[in-house]
């Protein structure tokens, strides 16, 4: 394990004013996105869309890395350039999603566990050779009257830690993603409780697996009210409770947090990220507070593109605009009217 390389890459991914584009949609997810704009999900269409994002002029000012899907890391662009080189030639670090999705947890049908550990060591070696600099694994934690259970938290945290240790062995920075779902009518206090329990279990497992905390990143949910809660907390409360929760459970040696958007509307998640960075200094938060957004960055350009080559320029402008606004929130300088 090259510790210095891991630390350097992790720090580069959370550089000031920058964050990560999550473009790692599975085949089923990208099909649903394309269905929403009446575009067939062919390999060529998927490549054209993602290449448009990757080649957007100036976006490297705000995007430090891109999480790719297995198909994309193996593809060439329209001019024959490897997609990983389209990114790396602009100073953007290519990454790769390595989990294979979720299945019901045995004997706990209301909870899910993520698969993909079988054969992972060999796949990581190949991804490193293909040009990846980091990896990502997503676990899903639901909030209900009966979940999460200690069994569910333990199973998912163990898998996250095994993934992280194997990634670092291969020289790749792991992005550990324990997503606490926003689904439900729970209040922000319940989300705080579950998030703290989740992080404590995850970092206990990471310690057992001897993961270098300085050479990894955390991709969590923010501490927010449930999506159908009667009263939802505003950005300032979200920021305050998120930082307070993390200070109880997230080691200071982790260099950065790259928040997921989690299905929140674009303006909401951007305002929350902005409030987090505005409060970070005063709260003595020891981590860089950045982003790893998918839908929040891609919704506008996807709609503008609509599968038509003549819309490429308009779609690229929409992507640049979303990246610029999110980069501003990363610095605590987001102005919604912009």
Task: Return the active site residues.
Answer: 177, 219
Residue 103, both tokens: 């299945």
What's 230-272 look like in SS3?
CCCCCHHHHHHHHHHHHHHHCCCCCCEEEECCCCCCHHHHHHH
Cβ atoms of 78 and 96 closer than 8 Å? no
- Element holding 50 (H helix, E strand): helix 43-54
The strand ranges marked E within the chain are 19-23, 63-68, 93-97, 102-105, 108-114, 134-141, 173-180, 217-218, 256-259, 288-293
Angle at 13 between CA 12 and CA 16, to 5 degrees: 75
Q: How far apart are CA 140 and CA 188, in angstroms?
A: 18
Cβ atoms of 10 and 216 closer than 8 Å? yes
Q: How far apart are CA 34 and CA 46, in angstroms?
A: 9
Q: How far apart are CA 170 and CA 125, in angstroms?
A: 6
Q: Are strands 102-105 and 217-218 parallel, antiparallel or unpaired?
A: unpaired
């Amino acid at each position: 394990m090259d510790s210095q390389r891991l630390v350097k890459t992790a720090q580069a991914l959370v550089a000031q004013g920058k964050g990560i584009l999550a473009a790692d949609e599975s085949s089923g997810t990208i099909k649903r996105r394309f269905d929403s704009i009446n575009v067939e999900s062919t390999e060529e269409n998927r490549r054209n869309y993602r290449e448009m994002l990757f080649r957007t002029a100036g976006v490297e000012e705000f995007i430090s890395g891109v999480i790719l899907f297995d198909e994309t890391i193996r593809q060439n662009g329209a001019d024959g350039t490897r997609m990983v080189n389209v990114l790396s030639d602009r100073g953007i670090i290519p990454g790769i999603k390595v989990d294979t999705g979720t299945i019901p947890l045995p004997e706990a049908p209301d909870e899910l566990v993520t698969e993909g550990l079988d054969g992972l060591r060999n796949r990581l070696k190949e991804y490193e050779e293909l040009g990846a600099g980091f990896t990502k694994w997503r676990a899903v934690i639901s909030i209900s009257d009966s979940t999460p259970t200690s069994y569910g938290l333990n199973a998912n945290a163990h898998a996250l830690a095994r993934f992280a240790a194997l990634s670092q062995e291969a020289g790749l920075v792991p992005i550990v993603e324990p997503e606490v779902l926003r689904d439900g009518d729970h209040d922000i206090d319940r989300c705080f409780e579950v998030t703290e329990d989740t992080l404590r279990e995850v970092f206990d497992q990471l310690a057992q697996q001897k993961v270098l905390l300085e050479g990894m990143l955390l991709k969590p949910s923010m501490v927010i009210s449930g999506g159908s809660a009667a009263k939802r907390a505003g950005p300032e409360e979200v920021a305050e409770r998120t930082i307070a929760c993390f200070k109880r459970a997230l080691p200071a040696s982790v260099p950065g947090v790259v928040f997921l958007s989690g299905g929140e509307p674009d303006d909401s998640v951007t305002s929350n990220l902005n409030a987090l960075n505005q409060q970070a200094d005063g709260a003595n938060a020891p981590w860089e507070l950045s982003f790893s957004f998918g839908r929040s960055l891609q919704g506008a350009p996807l709609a503008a593109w609509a599968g038509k080559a003549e819309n490429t320029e308009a779609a690229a402008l929409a992507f640049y605009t979303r990246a610029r606004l999110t980069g501003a929130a990363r610095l605590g300088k987001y102005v919604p009217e912009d």
